[in-house]
Structure 1
């Protein structure tokens, strides 16, 4: 994937105000820069996914856009990190990651902490491989560059990606014991098997994250079944997930209440841990499986 990156990435920065009054700045690749790359590569399918539609079922699942619920998850993760909560994991799987704001936040916190020890595993899954290649991976590089180039970093600009930068990036991840895995494709038993195989060699608690993944009845059912399959096959201490979404998706049929009802049918415990009423009502729930 690194070999397929362009020679430079144009970016802006999203500043998230956290609950304790501090902020986190997360750089993201500009969508117009993605469009320029797709035009140069004559990728008509990719260009079509950058149109007006947020989602095209079975074709494009909204990965180029940063969703509000992703910001909500960042705030939850920061709160747990600050409290030293044992459920703040160093092994994260983000389903439907897209721009991957929660994973980027976790990565930045690790890189910024001089006392950080132990490995970090980030699994990033999106329906579209083009999203992983054009947005997710570039954003990871941007987060890394922002931390390692603090003295010269600007909120908007370009990051040159020559061989030396890529070499430095890989060496930095290795020295910080960071491992990245990318998964593309529909949620399915095959997807679950692939993820389980990849994660099985990584000790420590896993937190599964999903933001804006239940926007329609079909998506809700598929996501819930995949999530439950992953949780049901984990060791007892690892069975935790954070799911963030709008309370109701008007016009398309998905809702947080329907999701909670579905996972409870699998004997999961669901607790609402955050609610946002600014704009469209949103919530973050924690899903836990009982001990076997």
Structure 2
């Protein structure tokens, strides 16, 4: 694929006009959230236990010079069918593929699949310097947040590198958010586990093997035996490397920002791929990013990447609509975001895609 920078300059004066700050109805405050979908931080220990005893099949994806690994979709469905389907029946039917839908409003938001813009995001991350990705060693705690993570391939690409960024005195928080808790359990967390496990050296692998009664290797080509020893080693590796992982399920809105168990006092990187396909969620994504950037302003490494198809046919969202929303918010007189800047990277493919890079320049 080829890349070209395309700075949007065709907004009319009317589009740049905005109401006063007092008259603005913040979408984070007015969005109506189903009580069953209130955001919450999932317990990683509990989620890991549901994976123990499973052989997780995975496959590699090459993106430029990078390789990232993801759990096979058929493997996810196999685990679901082995488990007690006491979860929401409507969601269960979608997850195991009994319906042809990629998403259903209020039930499932497409998190089991890996979409094209995730791969675009990985390529862009490869072009960014380490201080933007991981923060400077002299800075406050660094936060990496992926909004609408699904299979979380961009975070999985960065994740193994966190274990090699030594010495690190300041903690790093990786926060992964998806609408469905089942997606976090079945693909997000397993993908992190796979991409971490494949970086382990032979001595660690041999130690893990001695702790399991299975004669086969714990880590082998295209399959991972999830043992208690493996998950214990994973948790210990996070602790010893000053890395925290938070999985947040549920709807976005003001409550989502409230439940994030991290203080955005340090530097930060925000990633969001294929999340602005809906006119209803598009302003919520934009406002969430703007508020987080504002909280961590005056930090050199503070930015957001929003990757999306130029137009989502039949759904309603578009990059143009997202940029119009940004423009309206950035040009509010005496508003809080007058120092926010952005540029647009256009990806020339059969279906045109873009990456919007947003940064607080103050």
TM over 0.5: yes
Over residues 59-116 of structure 1, what are the superposed CA-to-partner deviations in whole Å (9 max), with x where a residue is unaligned?
Answer: 11111011111111111111114xx4x32235210000000011111112233x3755
Return the alpha-carbon distance in structure 1 between the equivalents of residues 288 and 110 of structure 2.
19
Structure 1: which 5+ runs fail to align? none
Secondary structure at the counterpart of residue 199 of structure 1:
coil
Return the alpha-carbon distance in structure 2 between the equivalents of residues 155 and 250 of structure 1.
39
After TM superposition, the structure 1 = structure 2 runs for residues 26-37 of structure 1, keeping only pairs within 5 Å, are 26-37=68-79
Secondary structure at the counterpart of residue 260 of structure 1:
helix
- CA 1:231–1:114: 2 relative to 1, 3 Å: closer
- Using the TM superposition, give the Cα deviation of residue 5 of structure 1 relative to its aligned residue in structure 2, in angstroms: 1.9
- CA 1:25–1:63: 2 relative to 1, 3 Å: same
Partner in structure 2 of residue 5 of structure 1: 51
The reply on whether 1:220 has 2:262 as its aligned counterpart is: no
- Using the TM superposition, give the Cα deviation of residue 50 of structure 1 relative to its aligned residue in structure 2, in angstroms: 4.2
Return the alpha-carbon distance in structure 2 between the equivalents of residues 253 and 126 of structure 1.
21
- Using the TM superposition, give the Cα deviation of residue 225 of structure 1 relative to its aligned residue in structure 2, in angstroms: 2.5
- Using the TM superposition, give the Cα deviation of residue 290 of structure 1 relative to its aligned residue in structure 2, in angstroms: 4.8
The reply on whether 1:101 has 2:146 as its aligned counterpart is: no
- CA 1:239–1:169: 2 relative to 1, 3 Å: closer
Over residues 253-279 of structure 1, what are the superposed CA-to-partner deviations in whole Å (9 max), with x where a residue is unaligned?
Answer: 11111101112222142211x322223
Partner in structure 2 of residue 76 of structure 1: 124
Secondary structure at the counterpart of residue 198 of structure 2:
helix
The answer to which of 248-257 and 33-42 deviates more is 33-42
Partner in structure 2 of residue 88 of structure 1: 133
- Using the TM superposition, give the Cα deviation of residue 40 of structure 1 relative to its aligned residue in structure 2, in angstroms: 2.0
- CA 1:64–1:27: 2 relative to 1, 3 Å: same
Over residues 31-72 of structure 1, what are the superposed CA-to-partner deviations in whole Å (9 max), with x where a residue is unaligned?
Answer: 112112211224243342343211111111111011111111
Return the alpha-carbon distance in structure 2 between the equivalents of residues 69 and 254 of structure 1.
15
Over residues 190-217 of structure 1, what are the superposed CA-to-partner deviations in whole Å (9 max), with x where a residue is unaligned?
Answer: 011112xx121x7531111100000121
CA contact under 8 A between 1:9 and 1:29: conserved in structure 2?
Answer: no
After TM superposition, the structure 1 = structure 2 runs for residues 179-258 of structure 1, keeping only pairs within 5 Å, are 179-195=244-260, 198-200=261-263, 204-237=266-299, 239-258=302-321
Relative to the length of structure 2, the TM-score reads 0.71
2:238 to 162, 173, 180: 173
Larger Rg: 2
Return the alpha-carbon distance in structure 1 between the equivalents of residues 313 and 174 of structure 2.
32
Return the alpha-carbon distance in structure 2 between the equivalents of residues 174 and 115 of structure 1.
14
The reply on whether 1:131 has 2:131 as its aligned counterpart is: no
CA contact under 8 A between 1:247 and 1:257: conserved in structure 2?
Answer: yes
- CA 1:9–1:280: 2 relative to 1, 3 Å: farther
Matched length: 278
Return the alpha-carbon distance in structure 1 between the equivalents of residues 179 and 127 of structure 2.
29
- Structure with the greater relative contact order (CA < 8 A, sep ≥ 6): 1 or 2? 2
Aligned-residue CA RMSD (Å)? 2.2
- Using the TM superposition, give the Cα deviation of residue 6 of structure 1 relative to its aligned residue in structure 2, in angstroms: 4.0
Return the alpha-carbon distance in structure 2 between the equivalents of residues 115 and 243 of structure 1.
29
Partner in structure 2 of residue 287 of structure 1: 358
Return the alpha-carbon distance in structure 2 between the equivalents of residues 285 and 243 of structure 1.
5
The reply on whether 1:40 has 2:82 as its aligned counterpart is: yes
Return the alpha-carbon distance in structure 2 between the equivalents of residues 206 and 243 of structure 1.
14
The reply on whether 1:270 has 2:333 as its aligned counterpart is: no
Return the alpha-carbon distance in structure 2 between the equivalents of residues 42 and 164 of structure 1.
25
Structure 2: which 5+ runs fail to align? 1-46, 135-141, 206-216, 331-339
